[in-house]
Structure 1
Amino acid sequence: MPTSGDIKSVDPSQRADSEVKVYAVSPQDGAQPVDIVDGFLEAMTSDDLQFATARKYLTSQAAKTWDPAAETTVLTDGPSREPDRQLDRGGLDGFTYKLRGTQVAVVDQQHAYRPEAGAYEETIHLVRRNTPDGKEWRIDSPPKGLLLGQSDFVRNYQSVNKYYFASLPASGSGNSTGSTDSSRQDWLVADPVYVRKRIDPESRMDSVTQTVATLLSGPTNWLKPVVDSRFPTGTALKDGIKSLTFDDRNALKVPLNAKASQVGQGQCRKMAAQLLFTLRDLTASKVTQVELERSDGSQLCVLSSDQAEEFSPDRASGTATSAYFINAKGHLERLPGSVASSTGAGDSTAGSSKTTEEVPGPLGAGPKTLDSVAVSRDDRRAAAVTVSGQQLYAASILSDGELGDPLVTSQGKRPEDRLSAPSWDGLGDLWVADRDRAHARLLRFAGGTGAPQTVNVAGLDGARIESIRMSADGVRIALLVSEGKKTTLKVGRVERQSHGEDGVTVSVSELRDAAPQMAEVTAMSWAGHSRLVVVGKEFGGVQEVRYMQTDGSSAATIPGANRVTAVAAADDSRLPLVALSQGDGIVRLPFGANWKTVVEKGASPVYPG
Structure 2
Amino acid sequence: MPDSGDVQAVKASNAGDSQVRVYAVAPRDNADPDEIVDGFLEAMTSDDPGFATARKYLTKQAARTWRPEESITVLTTAPDRDQADRPGDPDSQGRTFPISGRRIAEVDARHAYRPEVPSEFDTAIHVVQQPSADGKSKEWRIDSLPRGLVLGEADFLRNYRSVNKYYFASGESWLVADPVYIRQRQDPVTRMDSVTQTVKALLDGPTKWLGPAVDSRFPSGTELREDVRSLTPDDQSTLKVPLNAKADNVNAPACKGMAAQLLFTLGDLTSVRVEQVEILGSKGNRLCLLGKGQALQEFSPVRNPGRGENPYFVDEHERLMMLSVGGRQPDKPAEVPGPFGKGAVPLRSVAVDREENRAAAIVNDGRELRVGSITTEEELPAPVVISSALRPDDRLSAPSWDGRGDLWVADRNPLKPRLWLVPGGQGERVEVGTPWLRDGARVESLRVSADGVRMALLVTRDRRTTLQIGRVERTVEDGHVEVTVKDLQDAAPRLESVTAVSWAGPSRLVVVGTEKGGVQQVRYVQTDGSTSATSVLPGLNGVTSVAAPYGADQSAPVVANSGNDGIVRLVPGANWQPVVKAGSSPVYPG
- Classify the TM-score, shorter chain: over 0.9
Tell me what 2:480 maps to: 503
1:533 matched to 2:534? The reply is no
What RMSD, in angstroms, separates the aligned Cα atoms of the two structures? 2.0
What SS does structure 1 have at the residue aligned with 2:240?
Answer: strand
Is the 8 Å Cα contact of residues 254 and 292 (structure 1) preserved in structure 2?
yes
2:471 to 493, 496, 520: 493
Instruction: Provide, for residues 116-165 of structure 1, a one-character-per-residue CA deviation record: whole Å limited to 9, x for no partner.
Output: 23111112111111112511111111110000000000000000001111
Tell me what 2:7 maps to: none
1:413 matched to 2:390? The reply is yes
Instruction: Work out the CA distance in 2 between the residues paired with 1:427 and 1:305.
Output: 22
Instruction: Provide, for residues 437-476 of structure 1, a one-character-per-residue CA deviation record: whole Å limited to 9, x for no partner.
Output: 1111111111112432221223345221110000000000
Instruction: Work out the CA distance in 2 between the residues paired with 1:317 and 1:443.
Output: 27
- The farther-off stretch of 99-108 and 562-571 is 562-571
Tell me what 2:5 maps to: none
Instruction: Work out the CA distance in 2 between the residues paired with 1:533 and 1:570.
Output: 10
Is the 8 Å Cα contact of residues 494 and 509 (structure 1) preserved in structure 2?
yes
Instruction: Work out the CA distance in 1 between the residues paired with 2:165 and 2:499.
Output: 29
Tell me what 1:313 maps to: 300
Tell me what 2:60 maps to: 60
What SS does structure 2 have at the residue aligned with 1:535?
Answer: strand
**1:597 CA displacement:** 1.3
Is the 8 Å Cα contact of residues 317 and 377 (structure 1) preserved in structure 2?
no
What SS does structure 2 have at the residue aligned with 1:232?
Answer: coil
Question: Relative to structure 1, is the Cα distance of residues 456 and 314 closer, same or farther in structure 2, using a 3 angstrom cutoff?
Answer: closer
Instruction: Work out the CA distance in 1 between the residues paired with 2:471 and 2:301.
Output: 19
| Aligned-partner residue type, residue 430 of structure 2 | Q
**1:380 CA displacement:** 1.3
**1:18 CA displacement:** 7.8
Instruction: Provide, for residues 22-74 of structure 1, a one-character-per-residue CA deviation record: whole Å limited to 9, x for no partner.
Output: 01111122211111111111110111111001101110011000000010000
| Aligned-partner residue type, residue 131 of structure 2 | N
Tell me what 2:373 maps to: 396
Question: Relative to structure 1, is the Cα distance of residues 164 and 389 closer, same or farther in structure 2, using a 3 angstrom cutoff?
Answer: same
1:25 matched to 2:18? The reply is no
Tell me what 1:295 maps to: 282
Question: Relative to structure 1, is the Cα distance of residues 122 and 316 closer, same or farther in structure 2, using a 3 angstrom cutoff?
Answer: farther
1:469 matched to 2:436? The reply is no
**1:314 CA displacement:** 4.7
Is the 8 Å Cα contact of residues 187 and 316 (structure 1) preserved in structure 2?
no
Tell me what 2:13 maps to: none
Instruction: Work out the CA distance in 2 between the residues paired with 1:353 and 1:205.
Output: 46
Instruction: Work out the CA distance in 2 between the residues paired with 1:290 and 1:369.
Output: 51
What does residue range 351-430 of structure 1 map to in structure 2 within 5 Å? 351-352=328-329, 355-386=332-363, 388-430=365-407
- The farther-off stretch of 280-289 and 126-135 is 280-289
**1:89 CA displacement:** 12
- The farther-off stretch of 510-519 and 453-462 is 453-462
1:332 to 287, 295, 320: 320
Tell me what 2:218 maps to: 231
Instruction: Provide, for residues 518-562 of structure 1, a one-character-per-residue CA deviation record: whole Å limited to 9, x for no partner.
Output: 111100000000000001111111111111000000141111333
Is the 8 Å Cα contact of residues 253 and 291 (structure 1) preserved in structure 2?
yes
Instruction: Work out the CA distance in 1 between the residues paired with 2:320 and 2:520.
Output: 28
Is the 8 Å Cα contact of residues 166 and 188 (structure 1) preserved in structure 2?
yes
Instruction: Work out the CA distance in 2 between the residues paired with 1:286 and 1:510.
Output: 36
Instruction: Work out the CA distance in 1 between the residues paired with 2:87 and 2:349.
Output: 60
Is the 8 Å Cα contact of residues 357 and 374 (structure 2) preserved in structure 1?
yes
TM-score scaled by length of structure 1: 0.89
- The farther-off stretch of 576-585 and 554-563 is 554-563
Instruction: Provide, for residues 154-185 of structure 1, a one-character-per-residue CA deviation record: whole Å limited to 9, x for no partner.
Output: 000000001111114xxxxxxxxxxxxxxxx3
TM-score scaled by length of structure 2: 0.92
1:143 matched to 2:146? The reply is yes
What SS does structure 2 have at the residue aligned with 1:567?
Answer: strand
Instruction: Work out the CA distance in 2 between the residues paired with 1:108 and 1:136.
Output: 33
What does residue range 113-132 of structure 1 map to in structure 2 within 5 Å? 113-117=113-117, 118-131=119-132, 132=134
- Identical amino acids, percent of aligned pairs: 55
| Aligned-partner residue type, residue 326 of structure 1 | V
Instruction: Work out the CA distance in 2 between the residues paired with 1:257 and 1:86.
Output: 55
Instruction: Work out the CA distance in 2 between the residues paired with 1:395 and 1:87.
Output: 78
Instruction: Provide, for residues 233-289 of structure 1, a one-character-per-residue CA deviation record: whole Å limited to 9, x for no partner.
Output: 111100111111122222211111111011122211111111111111012554211
Question: Relative to structure 1, is the Cα distance of residues 124 and 602 closer, same or farther in structure 2, using a 3 angstrom cutoff?
Answer: same
Tell me what 1:522 maps to: 499
Question: Relative to structure 1, is the Cα distance of residues 89 and 371 closer, same or farther in structure 2, using a 3 angstrom cutoff?
Answer: farther
- The farther-off stretch of 236-245 and 313-322 is 313-322
**1:405 CA displacement:** 2.2
Tell me what 2:267 maps to: 280
**1:87 CA displacement:** 9.9
Unmatched runs of 5 consecutive residues or more in structure 2: 1-16
**1:353 CA displacement:** 8.5
**1:571 CA displacement:** 1.1
Question: Relative to structure 1, is the Cα distance of residues 354 and 70 closer, same or farther in structure 2, using a 3 angstrom cutoff?
Answer: closer
Question: Relative to structure 1, is the Cα distance of residues 353 and 384 closer, same or farther in structure 2, using a 3 angstrom cutoff?
Answer: closer
What SS does structure 2 have at the residue aligned with 1:276?
Answer: helix
Instruction: Work out the CA distance in 2 between the residues paired with 1:359 and 1:452.
Output: 27
Question: Relative to structure 1, is the Cα distance of residues 139 and 209 closer, same or farther in structure 2, using a 3 angstrom cutoff?
Answer: same
Instruction: Work out the CA distance in 2 between the residues paired with 1:33 and 1:594.
Output: 53
1:264 matched to 2:219? The reply is no
What SS does structure 1 have at the residue aligned with 2:268?
Answer: helix
